[in-house]
Amino acid sequence: MGEDTTTLGGIHVSPNAVATIACQATLESYGVVGLAARNLADGLMKSITRDPSRGITVKYNGEDIDIEIHIIIEYGTRISSVAESVANTVRFHVEKALGLKVNSVNVHVAGLRVSNTD
């Protein structure tokens, strides 16, 4: 993904590293309960492999970083506000960590979860 060469050698940042940064930023966002798989097959595969970036897809074409996030949010929160907050938080953390510009962050709300009120 992101590559740089210094006098000491080369630096390569993999899409999984970006997904891990995005995952942490997403889970720390207000209103987010967890991440959701894009589809059933993807969910089964990633649960078997214990992939920490489950629900996050990173695409890099040599110039643009595009991130897709599938989240589950807390019932009773404003969906559009939570989704916008997640997109902004992920963009900020990835750009800060990598020093590269993020082209797009698409947030898909896959479901709502009601917390136990007891």
Q: Is residue 55, in this structure, part of any structural domain at all?
A: yes
Confidence at 48, pLDDT banded by 50, 70, 90: very low
Nearest to 86 by CA among 116, 42, 55: 55
Q: Is residue 118, in this structure, part of any structural domain at all?
A: no
Q: Is residue 96, in this structure, part of any structural domain at all?
A: yes
Q: How many domains does the chain have?
A: 1
Q: How many CA atoms lie within 13 A of 31 on its CB side?
A: 19
Q: Is residue 82, in this structure, part of any structural domain at all?
A: yes
Confidence at 63, pLDDT banded by 50, 70, 90: confident
The parent domain of residue 87 ranges over 2-113
Q: Has residue 47 got a pLDDT over 70?
A: no
CA distance 92 to 86: 10
Residue 25's CATH number: 3.30.70.1350
Q: Is residue 86, in this structure, part of any structural domain at all?
A: yes
Q: Is residue 59, in this structure, part of any structural domain at all?
A: yes
Q: Is residue 99, in this structure, part of any structural domain at all?
A: yes
Query: What does the block give as tokens for 2?
Result: 């992101």
Q: What is the mean pLDDT of residues 83-108?
A: 95
Q: Is residue 94, in this structure, part of any structural domain at all?
A: yes
Query: What does the block give as tokens for 60?
Result: 């890099």
- Name the pTM for this structure: 0.80
Q: What is the mean pLDDT of residues 54-72?
A: 90
Q: Has residue 15 got a pLDDT over 50?
A: yes
**Alpha-helical segments (H) within the chain:** 15-27, 40-49, 79-98
